[in-house]
Amino acid sequence: MRSLLSRTLAVAALVAAAGQASAAITLFARADFRGPRVTLTQPAPDFRDFDFNDRASSVIVEGEPWEVCQDVGFRNRCAIIVPGSYPDLRAMGMNDMISPVRRVHRDARVDDDRYAPPPPGPSILVNGNGEPRI
């Protein structure tokens, strides 16, 4: 019985870890998913640490929603962006303004007014080379 419980807990831990690893945000320095990029799977409270502060112009969100904010420490204007492709952050008034990001659990209670406008049209995902995935 103990062996079955141990295996069940191990599988549950792997499933939970896999679900967390699937949440990612990729920020691009230029619109339309071009230019230098950074992909994050963990919170990043200060983009100055990797020279991407106030540089994001387009974003791809995978897995779970992410909170993006204007100022370090998750201050000033913040928005929740849901999974999808955002080819131009000017549509949400956040172009070249994002400093920190953090994942928002899918089941978290968030006021409707904190969500950014949804991504336009059908979402596209790109591979590691910036090419569309089909």
Instruction: Quickly list DSSP for 12-41.
Output: HHHHHHHHHHT-EEEEEEETTTEEEEEEES
**51: in domain:** yes
Q: Report the pLDDT value the prediction gives residue 22, as an integer from 0 to 100.
A: 80
**70: in domain:** yes
Q: Report the pLDDT value the prediction gives residue 118, as an integer from 0 to 100.
A: 83
**67: in domain:** yes
**30: in domain:** yes
Q: Report the pLDDT value the prediction gives residue 8, as an integer from 0 to 100.
A: 39
> In angstroms, rounded to a whole number, what is the distance separating the alpha carbons of residues 134 and 121?
16
Selected residue with higher pLDDT from 124 and 97:
97
67: β partners: 80, 102
Domain that holds residue 33: 24-114
Using pLDDT thresholds of 50, 70 and 90, give the confidence band for residue 53. very high
Selected residue with higher pLDDT from 48 and 2:
48
Mean pLDDT of the chain: 81
Q: Tens of pLDDT along 55-95?
A: 999 999 999 999 999 998 898 899 999 999 999 999 889 99
Number of domains in the chain: 1
Tell me the average pLDDT across 22-40.
Answer: 95
Asked if 94 contacts 116 with a C-beta cutoff of 8 angstroms, the reply is: yes
Tell me the average pLDDT across 43-47.
Answer: 92
Tell me the average pLDDT across 119-129.
Answer: 62
**79: in domain:** yes
CATH number at residue 87: 2.60.20.10
Q: Is the pLDDT of residue 9 over 70?
A: no
Asked if 95 contacts 132 with a C-beta cutoff of 8 angstroms, the reply is: no
**110: in domain:** yes
**31: in domain:** yes
